[in-house]
Structure 1
Amino acid sequence: MTPVLAYVALGANLGEAETTVRAAIAALGRLPGTQLVAASSLYRTAPLEVPEPQPDYINAVARLATTLTPHALLDELLALEARFGRVRPYRWAPRALDLDLLLYGDVVLDTPRLTLPHPRLHRRAFVLEPLLELDSFLEAPGLGPLSAWRARLSDQDVERLLPHPA
């Protein structure tokens, strides 16, 4: 199978979040049939849509070349979250690690387990900012140029921290 470019959002706001996100980026490159092509800088953002106060998130996006199918990649991402201590006590709970499959080539998919493109990627500056750092001209099926969506989210603050070490 020819590798497909996929984009994965990473986020954490529990424990040593920066260390966790960096380690998770490295772990993505070790998934079966997968190569880490690039990783964005790290970003700090306030939590959105949370029922109680939480620490800020550390976010990033990784670009992968993978021969895994979308669902197989999702399974690997969920297993990686679990290895990093992710639990799901309630929706929008603080996270040791959150991995979201944002884009998988030009695939459009809507199944009970996976929707592609990610259904909220264009509404979250903490996703768009690192995604556009990797490819400022990136377009998503059904959404068009993602830079146009980022311009609409000026009310969501995103603080760039450090570039991901090569």
Structure 2
Amino acid sequence: MTITEYVDAVIQSQAENGSATPRTVDLIEKAVLEYPKAPELWCLRGDVIQLLEEPNETYTSTSAVDSYCRALELDPQWSEAYESLGFYTHVVADNPQEAEGFFRKAMSISKTEDSFIGLGRVLAHLGRKDEALALLAPGNCPFSSEPEVKELVTEINEGHWDNT
């Protein structure tokens, strides 16, 4: 299989099951063995580890982070790895201050919808509601008309992120 075929197969497996199954894990592990210098596969491996449907003795709590860091060792400009570190650090490690730095680094490389959403959530979580809304506003955010961005703006305006 090619790198793209592995990525597609892993994503399809997760979509079919709603989480990472043993088959998904086997696929991504085979992929990183076959293509150990592909940052996209290491980044996807981290995502798969986070989405495991059942606890697994093979992976520690930092295995996902290790995968994202490996992706960055291979390509320091791999913005998806910074985004993934941002989401992990915000949601799993509950460290929005550190997550902000990861999202800002991702955005300095490539401004994606995920980086805008991640940084917007972090800013709202940190009580910087006005800064989050300004970030996501038309003219600042090229994704301001996308449903997920609109939903986040509504959540911030309605106070869903207050005292989180």
Q: Looking at CA atoms only, which structure, 1 or 2, has the larger radius of gyration?
A: 2
TM-score by length of 1: 0.32
Select the structure that is richer in helix. Answer: 2
